[in-house]
Structure 1
């Protein structure tokens, strides 16, 4: 497993149409997309932040250990990855915004600023999400 923690943001989606799909099946696929399912959809992710596992651990240790934000971010170490959806943005933005800048290293401050920027983008585009995983 890599020593790097990568933050990937959804950059675009497209329907994988490389196969000859019957018209009836296409209608089911497009209907499923309209109601929120991702049948046949390919998500394209781009790297927006990265750090080492040690930097990530030190950064999230600035959050209160009993907080929902800490549990969410620490899930990376339990599951190997976490996904941040629109319903997480207010909780995480509030928690990281409450860490005084003077208590953060320059790397931690850059991670905080970058995360809040991406969370703001997710707020404005709710179909977007963020995935945190090792590379």
Structure 2
């Protein structure tokens, strides 16, 4: 294994886990698009497709990889919530959509407060707050990835 690959793996292991929430979307109009094509683009947006859309994400939560691992370890290991959140370690990122809201909110709110340290309590409260925002604005989503 090359030194560059080893360094990249170490940086990934030491990196922070960032929770990004969709803050806004806009249509990328940097190209001169014919009017007929614009109509197709706007129609596709209206019916829920994301052709030509740029998502703007903002950081809403962050922790170290070790903090993240300790936090999700509070979930039942055989639960769908644990599987979803542990996917971060398999895929390097996970995306949380509206169809994950109830499952994750229920699982994290079921962890007794006294079993969580201060950081875990803050992560749980922050996650539930963002999940509530997504519930009220279903076009939002949450992305969890390394930085």
Establish whether residue 116 from structure 1 lines up as the match of residue 128 from structure 2.
yes
**Residues 86-125 of structure 1 aligned to structure 2 (within 5 Å):** 86-125=98-137
The one of 41, 47, 57 equivalent to 1:45 is 57
**Residues 24-35 of structure 1 aligned to structure 2 (within 5 Å):** 24-35=36-47
* Structure ID, larger Rg: 2
RMSD: 0.6
Report the 3-state secondary structure (helix = DSSP H, G, I; strand = E; otherwise coil) of the residue aligned with 1:39: coil
Between the aligned partners of 2:55 and 2:15, the Cα distance in structure 1 is 25
Cα shift at 1:31: 1.1
Q: Report Cα offsets for 1:41-73 as digits up to 9, x if no partner.
A: 000000000000000000000000000000000
In structure 2, runs of 5+ residues without a counterpart are 1-11
Cα shift at 1:35: 1.3
Cα shift at 1:117: 0.2
Establish whether residue 69 from structure 1 lines up as the match of residue 66 from structure 2.
no
Between the aligned partners of 1:24 and 1:73, the Cα distance in structure 2 is 43
In structure 1, runs of 5+ residues without a counterpart are none
The alignment covers a number of residue pairs equal to 135
Between the aligned partners of 2:45 and 2:110, the Cα distance in structure 1 is 37
Report the 3-state secondary structure (helix = DSSP H, G, I; strand = E; otherwise coil) of the residue aligned with 2:108: helix
TM superposition score normalised by structure 1: 0.98
